[in-house]
Amino acid sequence: MAPSVEALPTPSHSPPLDHPLKHSQRSHGVNSKNEITFDAKPYPFSFSPQACALVIIDMQRDFLLTNGFGHIQAGDAGVDAVQKTIQPTVDVLQAFRACGLPVIHTREGHRADLRNCPTTKLVRQARTPGSRHNLVIGDQGPMGRLLTKGEHGHDIIDELQPLPGELVVDKPGKGSFFCTNLHQQLVDRGITHLIVCGVTVECCVSTTVREANDRGFDACVLSDCTDGFVPDFKTSSLNMVCFSDGLFGFVGSSTSLRSALVEYRTILPPPPQWNGSLDIAHLQQAYSSGLSPSSVVKQVLGRIREVEADHPHIWISRADEREVFNRASFLDHHSDRNLPLFGIPFAVKDNIDVAGLPTTAACPAFSYTPTENAAVVENLLNAGAICIGKTNMDQFATGLVGVRSPYGIPHSRYSKEHVSGGSSSGSALSVALDLVTFSLGTDTAGSGRVPAAFNNIVGLKPTKFTVPSGGVVPACKNLDCVSFFAKSVQDARAAWLIAKDFDGSDSFTQPSLRQLPPPTNRSLLQPDSTYTFSLLPPDLIQQHLSPEYILPYEKVRSATAALSNATQVPFDFTPILKAASLLYKGAYLAERSGAFHPFFTQPENAPSLVPAVKSILDAGLKVPATEALDDLHLATDLTRQVYRQFDKCDVLVVPTAPRHPTIKELEVEPVKGNLALGVFASAVNVLDLCAVAVPAGWTGIGEGKLPFGVTLIATAGREGVLLEVARRLEGLL
């Protein structure tokens, strides 16, 4: 009989469980911090529901069923032991799903050519003198080639098959982190705690828990949801996990956890009747209670008609209403409501392909109608989202202002006199006016953040080359990235997580295994983690911010002082400002011109070109090669300087824009006014940083007030930390 957690001996040199610290933590159910707590060793395990994932390790046919790899290794007795973990794991999985908590599955296996299988692993048994094992990894077994991806035996057993939206991590090794993107996937989702089930306890489970511990995650293994092929190993393996006050983690039982989850569900408020809100959580609750996607589409289209008189220039083209309703009806009758973006309406900037809708990049003569979706759009549609249409933008994504479009000039959600921001003007407004849940933009110099600030919404600019760019009209291919607008950090994160699925056909998109900074414990924030941030120094505030922006930024400074466990550190902004100045000159200007050459030089296309855009593209043709190379070398040097400073600083908090200009001001000074808006935004693209813009208060009073926003900036691949700090700051602002 498998030992229960209560049967595990407490090491004699560990403090007893009634130690004052541990006694204060002993509880069961949901505590005052809304954390779920259940009995475990060395003391009760607590986690925030939003920051915990169930990780089910290698519950594959090859390890659990007769004639699989495990059966060949361990015989009937070994398989009998691991099969006893199936039902408890099913029970925990169902409990997590019922609570709407994240679930992750892993599968161990190798490519068909075995090139990702180390020789030592492949031949260890075959070369053992007198070995009884005639079959090794890759050999043909009763369920296909052993531990080989794509074979029947490699897949997860029927009882535990993943649902849409549940992450599946294919791993080539014993640990779940080695040569996988699991670390990045966890921190991107804000996960800090892991509940671990699976097989085998002595091998893949123990290895994964140790890896997780080194990377800063808290992990608890459920003793009745894991076992191995050698009976004596289970107790030893689990004792080692919780040895010395949880040297590697915790050990609990599924019974205790499920009891705590039941209590958690009882305190959750019942799903409210749908009130028209388009945020993802409300829509998911409403859909689970029977709301039809067609009802949501009806409201969205009605809302678009309501605001059209005041905001006539949001859209360049919209999907045919019959097709939108057909999509909603299809989802309602033929799709799984567990799809992560089931029935969620979204909009797409008109430099991103949507099959059947024209792509203009805000230039009529440039227009074409694609037959395929951009990869990022395809990812969202596959997740159940509904595309409403294509939004207005600064022509060729050249501008931060939103006034450079032949399809009309959109204005801010809050003022007809003030610019909407660009180049993703329509995408920002579609969210700000509650026409869609989220929208896609692009960000080459701040276009995914400045419009967010001017319309009081969130704008996420991910690490470049991590979101597929296939089917996106390039502006400056070395800097471009798809960006995300939403009303909240949570919704921006949700859309980004789905959209960024790797596209191997796009030469610029890189998998999350690209060479980012090492995945250390600094890449996630535990509830009690300390971290550092930096703000603009007083001289830069006075030099760059308009008078009406100084007070709200000082209020942000006060709010950051209330962040728990956060410490302000100095930061030299000199390389930031130098990098921003490179965006519309030299190398990057030449690359922008190259993207649309010879189109913009051809006389027949001249009537479709916005004069300010045409002058910028013309200037790019005159950049000497030596100047372009000098700029690229300088950008590399500045990047190194900034990253060196980020070794001591986790997050920068800067104004998204220095001021909010009027449309008339941009008519008088179209170039300088545009450049000024990028003083704190454009460097993010040049220096390979990630950023998120969030609302941060207001300027003025009464009807004349306008939104103010700040941007949080971190190094490449640190979206997880960035979004967690943004979420915390969001609550203070």
Residues recognised as catalytic: 349, 423, 447
DSSP string computed for 261-279: HHHHHHHSPPPPPP-S--S
Q: Cβ(136)–Cβ(144) under 8 Å? A: no
**Half-sphere exposure at residue 519, Cβ-oriented, CA atoms within 13 angstroms:** 24
Cα–Cα distance, 593 to 589 (Å, whole number): 6
Cα–Cα distance, 626 to 634 (Å, whole number): 12
Alpha-carbon dihedral of residues 198, 199, 203, 204, nearest 10 degrees? Answer: -50
Q: How far is CA 551 from CA 548, 655, 680, in A?
A: 7, 12, 18
Question: SS3 for 713?
Answer: strand
The alpha carbons of the chain give a radius of gyration, in whole angstroms, of: 27
> What sign results for the dihedral spanned by CA atoms 326, 328, 332, 336?
positive
Q: Which residues of 278-293 are buried (b: 16+ CB within 10 A; e: fewer)?
A: bbbebbbbbbeeebbb
Q: Cβ(499)–Cβ(484) under 8 Å? A: yes
Describe the crossing of helices 670-677 and 611-620 by its angle, rounded to 10 degrees. 70
Question: SS3 for 256?
Answer: helix
Q: Which residue, chain included where needed, has tokens 């949901």?
A: 30
Cα–Cα distance, 565 to 562 (Å, whole number): 9
Cα–Cα distance, 452 to 432 (Å, whole number): 8
Residue of 180, 181, 202, 205 whose CA lies nearest to 194: 205
Question: SS3 for 295?
Answer: helix
Cα–Cα distance, 111 to 115 (Å, whole number): 7
DSSP string computed for 413-438: TTEEEEE--SSSHHHHHHHHTTSSSE
The region, left, alpha or beta by phi > 0 then psi within -120 to 50, assigned to residue 376 is alpha
E strand intervals along 78-188: 103-108, 140-141, 144-145, 167-171
Q: How far is CA 422 from CA 109, 388, 616, in A?
A: 46, 20, 16
Cα–Cα distance, 663 to 645 (Å, whole number): 37
CB atoms within 10 A of CB 185: 18
Cα–Cα distance, 361 to 349 (Å, whole number): 8
Which two three-digit tokens encode residue 195? 């509940």
Cα–Cα distance, 25 to 660 (Å, whole number): 50
Point out which residues pair with 715 in neighbouring strands: 689
Q: How far is CA 426 from CA 30, 179, 659, 687, 711, in A?
A: 43, 40, 20, 27, 20
Describe the crossing of helices 321-334 and 293-307 by its angle, rounded to 10 degrees. 160
Q: Cβ(584)–Cβ(475) under 8 Å? A: no
Q: Cβ neighbours of residue 487 under 8 Å, at least 6 residues apart?
A: 278, 279, 431, 434, 437, 457, 458
Which two three-digit tokens encode residue 32? 């005052």
Name the residue type at position 376: V
Cα–Cα distance, 381 to 364 (Å, whole number): 27
